[in-house]
Chains A and B, each alone.
Chain A
Amino acid sequence: MAELVVMPRQGNTVESCVIVEWLKKEGDPIAVGDVLCSVETDKSTLDVESEQEGSLVKILRDEDDDVPVLDPIAIIGQPGEDISALIAETAEETAENAPKTEGAVEAKAKESALSGPQVGADKNGTHGVSPRARNLAAAKGVSVEQLSGSGPQGRVIERDVQAVLGSREPATPAAIAAGISAGGAVPARGSGIGGRITRGDLAASPAEESAQSSDTAAVSTETGEYEDIPVKSIRKVIAERMQASLAQTAQLTLNSSAPAESLMRWRKIYKNSDQDSGLSGISINDLVLFAVSRVVPQFPQLNAHFLGDKIRRFSDVNIGIAVDTPKGLMVPVIRAANRKSLLEISHEVKLLAEKCLSGIASPEELSGGTITVTNLGAFGIESFTPVLNAPEVAILGVNNIQLKPVLKDDETKFVPHIGLSLTIDHQAVDGAPGARFLKELGSQLGDLEKVAAL
């Protein structure tokens, strides 16, 4: 008996996932626990494992499709099994979920929902395209040859053509006549009146140009060659959060520095310690995080969320740590850092960073922070203005270590100092308490033996 494979639920906040890659092909034998495909949430990449045994009879959703959780993505059954009933079921579900009145984006999702490889241009010709679908497609300029069917055995039916029409603006009579239906890329929105798709918008349109195209084409040539990178997934989340942060908070950055001799001394002691103790991996950043975890409880106004009508202060210090990954910035969270040892913090930072880099951090590991630390010291940054991870009210930027002249007993000495840049949300925290926190943190970093006692 064939069974549907659905997009698994990933925590409570994830509504949909993008299929990154199918690791099995249609026809492949499947065992329980086999990884069928990898999917991506806005924060991490996960594997979808099979809970059934059999053969991958049909893949219902393509790579790059954004699929709502619990929606079917594939069918597992016995080779050659009749799955038309199951396909009809999924098509009905999708059709119900996306009534005709919904906007173009929904319709587009619906269109892709119905596309699966191997159908459409049916080679035996018996189940190819319904007459109604063919007529509608011809009248409106839709290419049925490239369309994937949602009817029995992949037959292209009228609804499939309507889905395409719903996903784009109408085409002008001339564009239809020019063989919009002959294939080639058709934009969802054209350059004509009301976004209509004109002859000039057809990618495969003949070389003869009508007068209007020169006007619109001139603009794109002004900037020379370029590449458009779609803003989606993690980049989209970062863009929205950063924009929202700057728009909705009153950011104030305070810069100071702290003597770094103690930090450097302890880093050296740990580095040279016995490999088996696990202490050798403790970095200067770990030491800063540890100090932060111990100093923040004395300044509860910094360990808070600003929620507009109220400020929520937290008892535990959940430190978000900014991690640079190929996909963009990620901020995994060390929960209750104030109750963890230096060694525990050090271990957890490394584990979370590795998970982020390989794209397998869970949504839970990437949320719940109460304050954030971001370290650009390794790049030689001397000071910067960290952007708040709203609704958090404080983010500490850690800079590089530099020599600073210090006058002591009429003598100038050069003392290494570590730069600290603290951004606070002035809506919730005033400058003075922010400055006091920085001063206290600096004094603790300058004398780490004291922190151990906190």
Chain B
Amino acid sequence: MKYDIIIIGSGPGGYIAAERAGAEGKKVLLIEKEEIGGVCLNWGCIPTKSLLNSAKYYHHALHGDQYGVRAEKVEFDLKTAMKWKEKTVTRLQKGVSFLMKKNKVDVVRGQARFTDRTTVAVGDEQYQSESVLIATGSSTMVPPIPGKESKNIVTSREILGIDSLPKSLVVIGGGVIGMEFASLFSTLGVEVTVVEMLDEILPMMDLGLAKTMRKSLKNISFHLGARVEKLEEGKVFFTKQGEAHELNCELVLMATGRKPNTEGLGLDEIGLDYDKKGIKTDQYMRTNVPGVYAIGDVTGKSRLAHSASRMGEVAVGHLVNPEKPKYGMFRSHAIPWAVYTLPEAAGCGITEQDAERAGLPIKTSGAQMAANGRFLAENGREVGQCKMVVHAETGVLLGVHLLGAYSSEIIHSAAAMIEAELRDVDIREIIFPHPTVSEVLRDAVWEL
């Protein structure tokens, strides 16, 4: 079979690319070896958001007193929460399948493998195309810690399928995945300990905000600068400042990072340039092999679902018209991110620490969300902060960092501002709706 475009992997990179290419009138083949929607929809962004929302309801039910709502016998029913999660996922899967049909995308299940640069085999079938997009994503990377095969040690994928809450949980890794699960389980009353090798959690976050966040998560114990040496069933051994420590727990979550899925694809046979960080690509997502593009986690450029979608669009725009790519080039300086902990955090652009490392002259400002009417009414004294980073001489906005409820829903406007290269004086001319938490951005820009 001949196609205009073959896409390997149906995650948020692959299926968005398929949708766009199909809408362009291209004949598209989408190959998926597991579930439509990839990690994001099935074992990542979506199911965790569903569970975190259930936890939030539980939290509000328990702590509604100061707002005049008292509830008794509040229970968290993990089975129902899991069912709702499954429903959400199934519904979204159907939505993606419908989108594929609507855009006349053929979907094939199985492991894809290049036989040459224009031929991809799935089982005994061979498919041909001048353009192939590799969107195979990433999977959990477990470092070679002795005893990592012991019982009751899980990754983010297995922990979404547990049928009862553990009494205690040790999360190894204080990154986004680790922190979201730590927040989820501690909110549900599980005794949670986070063991992180670096000196602070969430390395992409502004150092001050990360510290504030960690301190606000009172139900979680943290061990920073700690190196896990050995695992046993129900036991985690680590060293911190040269001292050996031991933790007892029912369950261990390995949230130690992710590695690109480059195996089994026949990448060496077509001479593709990749290393353990991922497949090398240029600003149009082209690899070193003509006609072969790579997008999303597998490139190692940015491990976020929305980055993958954007990369997919850039690649499709380029292969449809290489002369004038319809969707521009991939820029990575304004990718917003969010952590859906309780409280949540979000950011876009560089931090104060990034600027210091790069030697950029900057000005920063901060604003408290508690000064914001809506935030105060709804969240009381809970943490809420905004930090803004602008270029000291030009006033160009370089970064926005938020901690507090609704942060994830506000951060896109920072992305728009940074992409448009707006300066502080320009942002002051923007009208923000009142009363909303987004006004914290306005407060911060006037603080500069």
Which residues of A are interface residues toward B (Cβ below 8 A)? Answer: 172-175, 177-178, 189, 191-196, 198-199, 208, 210-212, 215-216, 219, 222
Contacts and interface: CB of A to CB of B under 8 A. Distances in A.
B419 A177 contact: no
B347 to A, nearest CB: 13
Interface residues of B, number: 27
A392 B447 CA distance: 73
A364 to B, nearest CB: 32
Given A172-B421, A193-B328, A198-B421, A211 B398 contact: yes
B328 A195 contact: yes
B398 A174 contact: no
6 contacts: A193-B331, A199-B394, A210-B391, A211-B350, A215-B283, A216-B329
Contacts of A178: 394
Contacts of A195: 328
B161 to A, nearest CB: 38
Interface in B411-428: 419-423, 426
Nearest to A197: B421
Nearest to A216: B283
A216 B421 contact: no
A211 B354 contact: yes
A219 B282 contact: yes
A195 B324 CA distance: 10
A174 B417 CA distance: 11
Contacts of A191: 329, 331
Contact of A211 (B283, B324, B328, B349): B349
A211 B333 contact: yes
Interface in B388-445: 391, 393-396, 398, 419-423, 426
A205 to B, nearest CB: 10
A301 to B, nearest CB: 31
B421 A192 contact: yes
Given A193-B331, A193-B419, 16 more contacts: A172-B422, A173-B422, A174-B394, A191-B329, A192-B420, A193-B420, A196-B420, A196-B421, A199-B396, A208-B361, A210-B396, A210-B398, A211-B349, A211-B358, A216-B283, A222-B282
Contact of B423 (A174, A189, A193): A174
Contact of A173 (B283, B329, B333, B420): B420
Contacts of B358: 211
Instruction: Name the residue among A174, A199, A208 with the largest chain B CB count within 10 angstroms.
Output: A174
Instruction: Name the residue among A193, A210, A211 with the largest chain B CB count within 10 angstroms.
Output: A211
A215 B422 contact: no
B95 to A, nearest CB: 28
Nearest to A172: B421
A208 B332 CA distance: 19
Contacts of A216: 283, 329, 331
B71 interface: no
Contacts of B420: 172-173, 192-193, 196
B360 interface: yes
Interface of B: 282-283, 324, 328-329, 331-334, 349-350, 354, 358, 360-361, 391, 393-396, 398, 419-423, 426
B328 A199 contact: no
A211 B421 CA distance: 12
Nearest to B334: A212
A58 B102 CA distance: 60
A175 B283 contact: no
B421 A175 contact: yes
Contacts of A211: 333, 349-350, 354, 358, 360, 398
Nearest to B349: A211
Contacts of A222: 282
Contacts of A192: 331, 419-421
B331 A212 contact: yes
Instruction: Name the residue among A191, A208, A212, A222 with the largest chain B CB count within 10 angstroms.
Output: A212
**Top 3 A-B pairs, shortest CB-CB distance:** A172-B421, A212-B333, A174-B421
Nearest to B394: A174
A210 B283 contact: no
Nearest to B399: A211
Contact of A199 (B349, B354, B421): B421
A194 B396 CA distance: 19
Given A196-B420, A211-B360, A174 B332 contact: no
Nearest to A178: B394
Contacts of B396: 174, 199, 210
A426 to B, nearest CB: 20
Contacts of A194: 328
Nearest to B419: A193
A173 B360 contact: no
A175 B426 CA distance: 13
Contacts of A212: 331-334
Contacts of B328: 193-195
Nearest to B389: A211
Given A199-B394, A216-B329, A208 B422 contact: no
B393 A208 contact: yes
Nearest to B398: A211
Contacts of B422: 172-174
A194 B420 CA distance: 10
A399 B438 CA distance: 76
Instruction: Name the residue among B324, B420, B426 with the largest chain A CB count within 10 angstroms.
Output: B420
A173 B395 CA distance: 11
B394 A177 contact: yes
A191 B284 CA distance: 12
Contacts of B354: 211
Nearest to B397: A174
Contacts of A174: 394, 396, 421-423
A322 B394 CA distance: 59
Contacts of B333: 210-212, 215
